[in-house]
Structure 1
Amino acid sequence: MESSQLRRAVEAGRAAASKLGLQADDAIVIHNSDRVALRLLPCDVLARVAPSGHLADSRFEVEVARRLADVDAPVAELEPRVEPRVHVRDAFAISLWTYYEQVGSEVAPADYADVLMRHHAALRLIDLDAPHVTDRVAVALRVVNDRDQSPELPDSDRELLSDTLSGLSTAIGIGEVGDQLLHGEPHPGNLLNTRRGPLFVDLATCCRGPVEFDLAHGPEDVAKHYAGADQDLIHRCRALNWAMFSSWRWRRDDHMPDRGHWRVAGLNQVRTALDRCGMG
């Protein structure tokens, strides 16, 4: 978010928490992108604040978290002192979560695989209407194919992303028999190493697809510890993930920090991933 919108988002998060009886005299910005994560003090609550256009996504994330808490999934929990719902204030959608202090170093590959397997097992226990991976790919493909949405994307790179998204989406969508609910984006930035053990956050990306789609978001060594994973499918999913990532960076209204860097880096990662799965 730009500075003016960020100030409003911080105030909206503080005000929503205060109205619910949580003392929020101060707010520390933990993450700032299309939505903001705030640590509110002294109540020590994490507020996730998004523009109201993301209201449906915020409500979906809260519902996912609520259901996963019932099956003891390794995910961050909603703030227990308030009702588990999304609050709307000053054109922002606000959800309140338990704040977890990170401890130790990065999660080791074997532990990463273990927590992802446990998360997948928990996801199989809940009934949830979630989009398929290919539905998310279709959204990215519309961005790439619509010059109004991605006006600065060079023609050659537009062709690369369009071919990658359409081709790999078709290949991955063929085997839907083995699909299940997934986290959607379980990359290292969405896995906290806490005193409770590793916990996944950012649950709004929950979708259906092969477990290899999730594995393709993690460090490469993780897949070696995940029993039964299809390594070739992981490589294809990794290329697909980078193609979607790159598509978002070329959106006219994308606000990711260092967007210029990630536009170039993302396309390079797409090419590298395609070479690895023999599709370069």
Structure 2
Amino acid sequence: MEPDDLRRAVEAGRTVASEQGLQADEVVVVHNSDRVVLRLLPCDVLARVAPSAQLPDSVFEVEVAHRLTDADAPVGALDPRADPRVQVRDSFAVSLWTYYEPAGPEVVPADYADALMRHHTALRRIDVTAPHVTDRVARALAAVDDREQSPELSDAGRRFLHGTLSGLSAEIGADRARDQLLHGEPHPGNLLNTRHGPLFVDLATCCRGPVEFDLAHGPEEAAEHYAGADPALIHRCRALNWAMFSAWRWRRDDQMPDRDHWRTEGLDRVRAALDRM
């Protein structure tokens, strides 16, 4: 977020926490992108603050968290001291979550695979309406095809991303027999190493598709520890993930840090993934 929006987002997070009787004298910005994640102290609450236009995503995330917590999934939980719903303040959607102290370095591939398998098992136990992976690809494709949304994307880059997104989406969407609910973006940054074990966060990306789509976000070695995974499908999904990532970076209003670097790097990662296929 831009500095003025960030200041307002921080104040919205503090206001919601204070209204819940939680003291929030100090704020640490944990993550700043199109939405922000704040650690509020001394109450030690994690606040997720998004523009109100993303209210449906925030509400969906809270609903998924409730159901997965009941299903004993390895996920970060809402803060039990606060009202377990999304609050809207000053054009921002705010939800309050448990803060987990890091318990060590990144989760090793074998433990990542174990956590993801347990997460997928819990996802099969819950019933929520979620988009298919190909629906998310369609949104990325729309951003690539619309020159107003991605004015700085070259014609060659536009053709490359369009062909990659449409081709891989058709392949992955053709056989839905193995589809189930997925995390959607379980990359290592969304898996916390805590004293409670590895916990997945950022649940708003929940969607339907093959488990290989989730596996393609994690360490390559993790696939060796996930029984029944299709290595060829993982490679296709990894190329598709990088193509979507690149599509978002070329949007005019994208706010990812180091966006210019990741615009070039993202396209290189797509090409590398396609070469491996």
Give the TM-score category using the shorter length: over 0.9
SS at match of 2:50: strand
| Residue in structure 2 matched with residue 77 of structure 1 by the alignment | 77
Please tell me whether residue 12 in structure 1 is matched to residue 4 in structure 2: no
SS of equivalent residue, structure 2 residue 85 = coil
Q: Are residues 1:65 and 2:97 paired?
A: no
Write the mapping of 1:193-208 to structure 2, written as runs, cut at 5 A.
193-208=193-208
Aligned mates of 2:142, 2:14 — CA distance in 1: 36
Secondary structure at 1:30 match in 2: strand
**Where does residue 106 of structure 1 map in the other structure?**
106
- Letter of the 2:110 partner, please give it: A
Unaligned runs of 5+ in 2: none
Match of 2:46 in 1: 46
Report the secondary structure of 2:49's partner residue: strand
Alpha-carbon distance in structure 2 between the residues aligned to 1:42 and 1:32: 21
Structure 1 residues 109-124: aligned runs within 5 Å? 109-124=109-124
1:29 aligns with 2:23: no
Aligned to 2:253: 253
Instruction: Give me the whole-angstrom Cα distance separating, in 2, the residues matched to 1:95 and 1:204.
Output: 12
- Aligned to 2:177, the other structure's residue is in SS state helix
Tell me the residue number matched to 2:171: 171
Deviation digits for residues 237-274 of structure 1 (CA, Å, limit 9, x no counterpart): 00000000000000010000000000000000000001
**Contact 2:20/2:83 (8 A) holds in 1:** no
Letter in 1 for 2:118: R
Question: Aligned AA for 1:194?
Answer: T
Letter paired with 1:163: G
Could you give the per-residue CA deviations for residues 84-120 of structure 1, whole angstroms, max 9, x where no partner exists?
Answer: 1000000000000000011111111110000000000
Shift in Å, 1:82: 1.6
Query: Offset of 1:67 from its aligned partner?
Result: 0.5
TM-score (normalised: structure 2)? 0.99
> 2:161 corresponds to which residue?
161
Could you tell me which residue of structure 1 aligns to residue 216 of structure 2? 216
Please tell me whether the aligned partners of residues 164 and 240 of structure 2 are also in contact (alpha carbons under 8 angstroms). Answer: yes
Q: Distance in 1 between matches of 2:258 and 2:40?
A: 26
Secondary structure of 1:152's aligned partner: coil
Q: Which secondary structure does the structure 2 equivalent of 1:88 belong to?
A: strand
In 2, Cα distance between equivalents of 1:224 and 1:34: 34
Q: Distance in 2 between matches of 1:35 and 1:18?
A: 20
Q: CA deviation at 1:26?
A: 1.1
Q: Distance in 1 between matches of 2:62 and 2:157?
A: 36
Indicate yes or no: 2:221 matched with 1:233.
no
- Secondary structure at the residue paired with 1:177? coil
Answer yes or no: is the 8 Å Cα contact 2:213–2:237 preserved in 1. Answer: yes
SS of the counterpart of 1:229?
coil
Q: How far apart are the structure 2 equivalents of 1:214 and 1:107?
A: 16
Residue of structure 2 equivalent to 1:3: 3
2:276 matches 1:276: yes
Deviation at 1:20, TM superposition (A): 1.2
Show the counterpart of 1:180: 180
Indicate the RMSD between aligned Cα atoms, in angstroms.
Answer: 0.5
CA distance in 1, matches of 2:147, 2:12: 34
Q: Which residue of 1 aligns with 2:135?
A: 135
What is the number of equivalent residue pairs in this alignment?
277
Q: Once the two structures are superposed, what CA deviation does each residue of 1:6-57 show, in whole Å capped at 9, x if it has no partner?
A: 0110011001110111111111000000100000011100000001010000
